[in-house]
Amino acid sequence: MNDQCIALTITDNIATVTLNRPNKHNALDLEMFKALDQISQKLAKDRQLRAIIVNPKGEDFCSGLDIKSVLSKSSSALALLKKWLPGNANLAQRVSYNWRQIPVPVIMVIQGRCWGGGLQIALGGDFRIAAEQASFSIMEGKWGLIPDMGANLAIREIVGKDIALKMAMTAEVISAKTALDYGLITQLCNDPQAEALKLAQQISQRSPDAVAAIKKLYHNNWFKAQWLMLAKESYYQIKILLGRNQKIAVKKQLKPEQDFSYLPRNNW
- The residue extents of the domains of the chain are 6-203, 208-254
Fold of 6-203: 2-enoyl-CoA Hydratase; Chain A, domain 1 (3.90.226)
How far apart are alpha carbons 38 and 50 in whole angstroms?
19
| Range list of β-strands (E), the chain | 6-11, 14-19, 51-56, 106-110, 113-115, 127-131, 135-137, 174-175, 187-189
Torsion angle of the four alpha carbons 65, 193, 179, 222, in this order, in degrees rounded to the nearest 10 = 90
CA atoms within 13 A on the CB side of 101: 17
DSSP H or E stretch at residue 198 = helix 192-204
The string of pLDDT tens digits covering residues 181-238 is 999 999 999 999 999 999 999 999 999 999 999 999 999 999 999 999 999 999 999 9
Using CB atoms within 10 A of its CB, is residue 4 exposed (0-12), middle (13-18) or buried (19+)? exposed
The string of pLDDT tens digits covering residues 74-96 is 666 678 878 778 888 999 999 99
What is residue 79's predicted lDDT score, i.e. its pLDDT? 80
What pTM was computed for the model? 0.94
Please name the residues in contact with 235: beta carbons below 8 A apart, sequence gap of 6 or more.
Answer: none
